Amino acid sequence: MVVAISPSRAILATLVAVLVSVAVAASNDTLTAYEVLEEYGFPIGLLPEGVVSYELNSSTGKFSVYLNGTCTFSLEGSYDIKYKSTVTGYISSKKLYSLSGISVKVLFFWLSIVEVTVEGDDLDFSVGIASASFPVSNFAVCPQCGCGLDCVSLAAVE
């Protein structure tokens, strides 16, 4: 027995099949925020552990990264870093700019980090009026909220 299908139903069935396959392929190709950083030439350690989701407009570079809460930690024992639960800005090859939601404590003041660029083997962090450079290799691992990169030592003290 042969079932006759109208041309409009055949087109509809084909369209549904194509849309389902595109949706499945898109969901399998979704990168993490850390992988997106790497695609633009940055190390993953620029973001702390705990990224819940992100949005990226690939044509403009505008992004938002969502953490599971505010995140504060110390790096190298001398820099206090704070991430708000939402970090926004623009990303292009080896440049993050117009940043909002990341700050560093300098002496007694919290200053917003507004730009990060990759210059050779260094990352340059700008707070607008001043900047500092650190080796890219220092950011190979994601810091953890509360303890940064030295969680083992802090756990041993407790």
User: 83-126: per-residue pLDDT in tens?
Assistant: 999 999 999 999 999 999 999 998 889 999 999 999 999 999 99
Question: Which residues in 121-149 are b (16+ Cβ under 10 Å) and which e?
Answer: eebebbbeeeeeeeebeebeebbbbeebb
Residue 13's pLDDT is 38
DSSP state of 31: P
Dist. CA 102–CA 46, nearest whole Å? 10
Between 79 and 20, whose confidence is greater?
Answer: 79
What is the DSSP annotation of 14-58?
HHHHHHHHHHHHHHHTPPPHHHHHHHTT--GGGS-S-EEEEEE-T
**Cross-strand partners of 53:** 66
Whose tokens are 């704070």? That residue is 82
How do the domains of the chain map onto residue ranges?
33-157
**Cross-strand partners of 19:** none
DSSP state of 49: S
Q: List pLDDT tens digits, range 30-86.
A: 999 999 999 999 999 999 999 999 999 999 999 999 999 999 998 876 789 999 999
- CATH architecture of the domain 33-157 equals Roll (2.30)
Categorize the per-residue pLDDT at 151 as very low, low, confident or very high, splitting at 50, 70 and 90: confident
Dist. CA 56–CA 39, nearest whole Å? 13
Q: Which pTM value belongs to this model?
A: 0.77
